[in-house]
Structure 1
Amino acid sequence: MTNPRRVAVPHLRYGEPLQRMIRTIQPEHLTGRLVILPALNLPAVRAATRVSPVDGRNLNRTYPGALRGDATQQIAYAVTERLLPSADYALDLHSGGSASFYLPSAYVYQGPNPDMFRRKKAAAELLGLPWSIQVVPRQGPSTFSAAADNAGVCMIATELAGGGMLTSALIDRLSQGLSRLLVGWGVLKAEFGPPDLGGTQWIRFDEDSTIYTPVRGLFEPECRLGDHLSSGERVGWIYPFEELNEPARPVAAPRDGIVTILRRPPLVDLGDALFTLASEV
């Protein structure tokens, strides 16, 4: 192959599927170059936090980084200046962290142009997670998705479960999807690509998708991930735990939507996100 495809797979937390891939794929299985980083910001992974204990930075809010910056800035700089320019595709695997539960989804950022958006959607179809979410073109200039767009690299991301855990069934499905995607991207030989598992369901985030708590207290949800809610439908209750004479406050869906993200810790403060509703595409 005169122009082999090149894929970069950075990962921030909970890298079980990548650990499996590292130990399974052999050089003779490949038709391109595959770069896997199972713990891109190692200090943060060891601490099981989004921010590095070394410098207090969130890597996914630090791009494009700085050559002579602190540790996280230097990692972001290396990805921006060394890794992405050498890649044709990128896959950024997140598992939802520990503060929320997520529908297992591919995140597809719209843009930066119609052709690239089409390529990203095709990649999500190959990955074959249960859900795929269209997200606004950019969440800001300091994210990995923005860095990939700036480099002209086709990139999709995932949020896989949340709550600090993954299930074996989801790991199996993602592992198969990764192999299928790498075959589609021309990096893995076709005989190592499993069959399609039945496609993905498309939804999208809107500007008003995230619902925040109006009061401090303890949140008791009555909805579940994947529920289809109608405007005004009760989602749960907030109990003001410091004012025991205050009644519980009902929380209602402000619009129709599918519960995509649900808060995990019951203790909430003003401005905390309770849940996120997505719209059908």
Structure 2
Amino acid sequence: MQTVKVGNMSARTGEKVSGYVQVKGMDIELPVTIICGDKEGKTVFISGGVHNAEYVGIQTAIEIASEISPSQLTGNLIILHLMNRTGFEHRTMSLVYEDGKNLNREFPGSEQGTVADKICHTVVTEFQRNADYYIDLHCGDGYEELIPYVYCVGVADPEVAHKSREMAEMVNVAYLVQSPCGSGGAYNYAGSCGIPSILIERGCMGRWSKEEVKLGKEDIRNVLRYLGVLEGDVSERTYHPVDVGIVIYKNAAHTGCWYPTKRAGDTFKKGEILGQVKDYFGNVLESCIAEMDGILLYHVGSLCVIKGGSMVAYGENVNQQ
């Protein structure tokens, strides 16, 4: 008989338990499901809502928690449906309501910090400490248009990075990015601690659909089947993700109106204009010029762009070379 414990919640072999785990030192409670398999095995941590306006990931976590039963598992699932709950309930796009911080820049957090720091600290000490593997569910922010793709950890022991890549290759998306960071993000930090981890990007622009959630759930099931945690064989996929190589993230130098010239998924050549920021009279304040041949992973899809905020992210397109 095994017991999986997270905060004040616990589940024993063959049990599924849903409830709330309190953020340490706060009144905030996070919605969680623990599924303790009929057979013992590895534990997979799945999280949605690190960014609270990324609704596809949140709904995917909610539905996968409802649909998987202990009898299907050799191992355990810990599913955090919504990490940034106060941001979700105050519709703050993807920032923590109380302090305006981006959770995915604050890991591993701190017990003595602000609300965002304490959320991150709780996730590390209560959730990640139980995990053998980690799947973080994201999508484009409320103002970002993107193509589906997957990240895997890169700053980690070679064995951890290799396992993370194998997990990412089970996701039904065209492109894979290996992260050059070992902290800040939830999955980056987990990888640096020896937990093979991936981040899935699917959906965008503050919307969600049943089809996107269905694809997201199949992504999770395929990774779990590959890991031997969920019964069944890996299903057929449309894509087998390939590396995009170097990724460039460009932030705006001005606040103003954003006029993209490309859409997410478009390819382009070095020197092409990817978009422009203009003032409220139509005067060009800056142009975003491609620094290499590449493919556009995501870009701002709203008219508003904010100084210091993202304009585009693009990577090397190996299919062009």
User: Structure 2: 5+ residue runs without aligned partners?
Assistant: 1-37
Residue deviations 1:163-185 (CA, integer Å, cap 9, x gap)? 11234332222211211111111
1:211 aligns to what? 250
Q: What is residue 160 of structure 1 aligned with on the other side?
A: 202
CA contact (8 A) 2:155 2:179 kept: no
- The 1:231–1:20 alpha-carbon spacing in structure 2 relative to 1, beyond 3 Å, is same
- Cα 1:250–1:137 shift into 2, 3 Å: closer
Question: Which deviations, in whole Å up to 9, do the C-alpha atoms of 1:77-121 show, x marking residues without a partner?
Answer: 222122212110011111221121122111112131222211111
Q: Distance in 1 between matches of 2:291 and 2:252?
A: 12
Q: Give the residue type in structure 2 aligned to 1:103.
A: I
Provide closer, same or farther for how the CA distance between residues 153 and 131 of structure 1 changes in structure 2, counting only shifts above 3 A. same
Asked if 2 retains the 8 angstrom alpha-carbon contact of 1:217 and 1:241, the reply is yes
Instruction: Please tell me whether residue 26 in structure 1 is matched to residue 65 in structure 2.
Output: no
Aligned counterpart, 2:138? 94
1:65/1:43 CA distance change after superposition, 3 Å: same
What is the aligned partner in structure 2 of residue 220 from structure 1?
259
Question: Cα distance 1:51–1:28, how it changes in 2: closer, same or farther (>3 A)?
Answer: same
1:54-77 residue CA offsets vs partner (Å, 9 max, x unmatched): 343332233223335444333222
> Any idea what the Cα deviations from partners look like across 1:233-266, whole Å, max 9, x if unmatched?
2334443324x6x468665423211111111222
Match of 1:103 in 2: 147
Shift of 1:218: 2.1
1:1-281 aligned within 5 A: 4-12=41-49, 13=52, 14=55, 15-48=58-91, 49-138=93-182, 141-190=183-232, 193-206=234-247, 209-213=248-252, 216-242=255-281, 246=283, 251-281=288-318
Q: 1:269 to 1:111 in 2, by over 3 A?
A: closer
Q: Check the 8 A contact 2:145/2:298 in 1, yes or no.
A: yes
Letter of the 1:155 partner, please give it. S
Structure 2 CA distance for aligned equivalents of residues 77 and 270 of structure 1? 29
Query: CA contact under 8 A between 2:300 and 2:311: conserved in structure 1?
Result: yes
Q: Secondary structure at the match of 2:206?
A: coil
Q: Secondary structure at the match of 1:183?
A: helix
Distance verdict in 2 for CA 1:196–1:268, change over 3 Å: closer
More displaced stretch, 165-174 vs 9-18? 165-174
Contact 2:258 / 2:276 at 8 angstroms: preserved in 1?
yes
Q: Distance in 1 between matches of 2:278 and 2:286?
A: 6
Unpaired runs of at least 5, structure 1: none
Comparing both structures, which one devotes a greater share of its residues to strand?
2
Structure 2 CA distance, aligned partners of 1:239 and 1:57? 27
Further displaced range: 6-15 or 127-136: 127-136
Partner Cα distance (2:112, 2:227) in 1: 35
Q: Are 1:60 and 1:142, in contact at CA under 8 Å, matched by a contact in 2?
A: yes
Whether contact under 8 Å (1:129, 1:173) holds in the other structure is no
**Alignment TM-score, normalising by the size of structure 2:** 0.76
Q: What is the percentage of aligned positions where both structures have the same residue?
A: 22
TM-superposed CA distance for 1:162, in Å, is 2.2
Q: CA deviation at 1:9?
A: 0.5
Report the alpha carbon displacement of residue 23 of structure 1 after superposing the two structures with TM: 1.9
Letter in 2 for 1:267: C
Contact 1:85 1:151 in 2 (8 A): no
Change in 2 beyond 3 A, CA 1:267/1:40: closer
Once superposed, what is the RMSD of the aligned Cα atoms?
2.5
